[in-house]
Amino acid sequence: MKRHSLFRGTLLLTAANLGLRGSAMCFQVYLSNRIGAAGIGLLQLILSVSFLAMTISTAGVRVAAMYLTAEEYGARRPGGMRKALLCCLLYGLIASVVGGMILHRTADWIAVSWIRDVRAASSLRVLAWAMPVNCLWSVMAGYFTACGRLKPLVWVELLEQLLSIAATVALLGLWAGSDVERACISIHLGNSTATGITLVVLLVLALGHRTGPIPAGLSMWRRLFRLCVPLAANDTLRSALSTTEHLLIPRGLSRSGGSSEQAMADYGTIHGMVFPVMMFPAIVFLALADLLVPELARCRAALDQRRIHHLTDRCLRMGLLFSAAVAGLCYALSGPLCDLLYHSETAGLYLRLFSPLVVVLFMDTLVDGMHKGLGEQVYCVRVNTLTNLLDVVFLFLLLPRFGIAGYFFTFTLTHFLNFYLSLAHLLTVTGYTPRFSYICKVLICTVAAALAAGTAAALSLPSLLACLLALAIFGVVFGVLLLSTAAWTALDTRWLRSVTGCRSLH
């Protein structure tokens, strides 16, 4: 196995996801300008509730499809793979139809009692009808991932996104107009239409290839239920806590003294405008986290502690460097970038406020991926559940009294706690000791470069020109400081060339 394959794979997977996430973010910018911050806030709440409903109704079947298919694939039983897929499709269809019926019957009550906006009811009913399609699509995605057929899956995902955007834009222009309720319906109808079309494509690609007889018996169903029951319980708990958290935010903000419309606008600005921009570069970390799982699992099975230590050192050091640079850029570019994208001064203020937390959010994603590869995913589940529960408690107590300040305090506290607990456990498992001097050097270089670039961004220039100027200044100052403090060495340069070229990592 080539040592640089993990990082080359990260680059390839990042490139594949870049188009998907990039088009999604551009579409989010279009929507925010079309329906406003309050409309984005309502849309986010509807999506949060629908995510809970989807989690409950799919009952862990996507992950079960991945595990069962991977087992049959590893045992070279193509008939067993097809049976695993068919069982998961039938199970998911039944569960999602029942879940969709319940959501359809309770849509009005959820809109009034949970979301507190009757306009959400019609979108929830659309989502209820689309739930079986979304569930079956997730099963097919798990199947293709387990089979290693990532290339056709990526192309189908790209097709789905293009169809979704086209259908949504058409509905917004021809029917919705400036009506927020119709706009939300248009978005969900567009997504559902695209999902339905691409589901047919995935089914044709998967079921059209018939090799090997399908084994008889009920063993596959027993394996399916053994996987789905604990997965469903865990996913439902986490999703319920996350949805409760999202529902508490606009409700708590309105109780702190603002109007319901302003609370929804603040919520939409933070979650629908600021966070998508802030988290867009996380594509790199998501790709690396996915690829670290099998890589570290192989090292753990082979008892290759040296390789585990090397990967831990390289990933944490380069991860800190990248996340710190993104945090500094978010801080420096916050004003002109949000003005360019959203024409919103408020979004710029929030982006600057949350920008230092980029380091924590990105690094936590990376650490969680390493935990899964080392077989420590149960610990991650416990930590995530604990911090989600703390989120709900603190939001309930602090939001009505302190408003946005209470939300920022809660977000910062729980995410720092999550990262601290996860990182401490990773260091214990791997035996790795981070270099404190390196951490200080990177953070000092980032702060200095961010302040220099932020000064340039504050000049009275057009937004695009201010962004380009600040980006250039940040790059120059950050690069010079990294070299002068030896935070970046010749060894790092040789490593970078090796993982982007054809030479060995070492």
In the chain, pLDDT over 90 holds for what percent of residues?
36
| DSSP reduced 3-state for 114 | helix
- Residue 1's pLDDT is 40
| 307 Cβ contact list (under 8 Å, min separation 6) | 299
The overall average pLDDT reported for the chain is 84
DSSP conformational letter for 357: G
Q: What is the pLDDT of residue 499?
A: 53
Mean pLDDT within 379-405: 89
Mean pLDDT lowest among 99-103, 342-346, 377-381: 377-381
Q: What is the mean pLDDT of residues 94-110?
A: 92
User: Which of 59-63, 123-127, 173-177, 344-348 has the least mean pLDDT?
Assistant: 59-63
Residues 217 and 328 in one domain: no
pLDDT category at 8 given cuts 50, 70, 90 is low
248 domain residue, yes or no:
no
Last residue of a domain, one of 198, 218, 233: 233
Look at the block and give the residue holding tokens 């302040």: 451
Q: Is residue 321 part of a domain?
A: yes
Give the end of a domain, one of 200, 233, 266.
233
Q: What is the DSSP letter of 393?
A: H
Tell me if 210 is assigned to some domain: yes
Final residue in a domain of this structure, among 233, 267, 285: 233
Give the confidence band of 464 by pLDDT, cuts at 50, 70, 90. very high
Q: Over 80: is that where the pLDDT of 235 sits?
A: no
Pair of tokens at residue 259: 């109007």
Segment 410-439, tens digit of pLDDT: 999 999 999 999 999 999 988 888 889 999
Split into its structural domains, the chain has a count of 2
- For residue 242, being part of any structural domain is answered with no
Q: Are residues 226 and 262 in the same domain?
A: no
Give the pLDDT of residue 12.
54
Predicted pLDDT at 43: 87
Question: Are 49 and 143 members of one domain?
Answer: yes
pLDDT tens profile 190-221 = 999 999 999 999 998 887 665 666 666 667 88
Above pLDDT 70, what percent of the chain?
87
Determine the structural domain holding residue 300 and report its residue range: 256-506
Residue 4: which pLDDT band, with cuts at 50, 70 and 90? Answer: very low
Is the domain of 160 the same as that of 291? no
Per the structure block, which two tokens stand in for 13?
A: 């997977």
Is position 400 within any domain?
yes
CB 363 within 8 A of CB 320: yes
Q: How far apart are CA 434 and CA 313, in angstroms?
A: 8
Does 245 reside within a domain?
A: no
Residues 147, 195 share a domain: yes
| pTM: predicted TM-score of the whole model, two decimal places | 0.78
pLDDT at position 41 over 90: no
Confidence category of residue 503, pLDDT binned at 50, 70, 90: very low
Same-domain status, 290 and 394: yes
Rg (CA), the chain: 24
Statement to judge: residues 228 and 284 lie in one domain: no
Spell 98-115 as b/e; 16+ CB within 10 A means b: ebbeebbebbeebbeebb
- Asked if the model's pLDDT at residue 5 lies above 80, the reply is no
In this prediction, residue 288 carries a pLDDT of: 64
Does the residue 291 lie in any domain?
yes
Tell me what pLDDT residue 374 has. 79
Q: Among the listed ranges 247-256, 294-303, 441-450, 472-481, which one has the minimum average pLDDT value?
A: 294-303
229 and 262: one domain?
no
Higher pLDDT, 349 or 252: 349
Residue 161 resides in a domain: yes
Band (pLDDT 50/70/90 cuts) for residue 72 is: confident
Least confident residue range of 4-8, 153-157, 247-251: 4-8
Residues 469 and 369 occupy one common structural domain: yes
pLDDT of residue 2: 44
Please name the residues in contact with 249: beta carbons below 8 A apart, sequence gap of 6 or more.
267, 271, 395, 399, 407
pLDDT band at 468 (very low <50, low <70, confident <90, very high): very high
Which of 24-33, 379-388, 459-468, 494-503 holds the top average pLDDT? 459-468
Amino acid in position 46: I
pLDDT for res 504: 42
Give me the mean pLDDT over the 236-243 stretch.
83
Residues 225 and 360 grouped into a single domain: no
What is the C-alpha to C-alpha distance for residues 456 and 452, in angstroms, rounded to an integer? 7
Please give the pLDDT value at position 230: 74
407/302 same-domain check:
yes
Regarding whether 116 and 171 lie in a shared domain, the answer is: yes
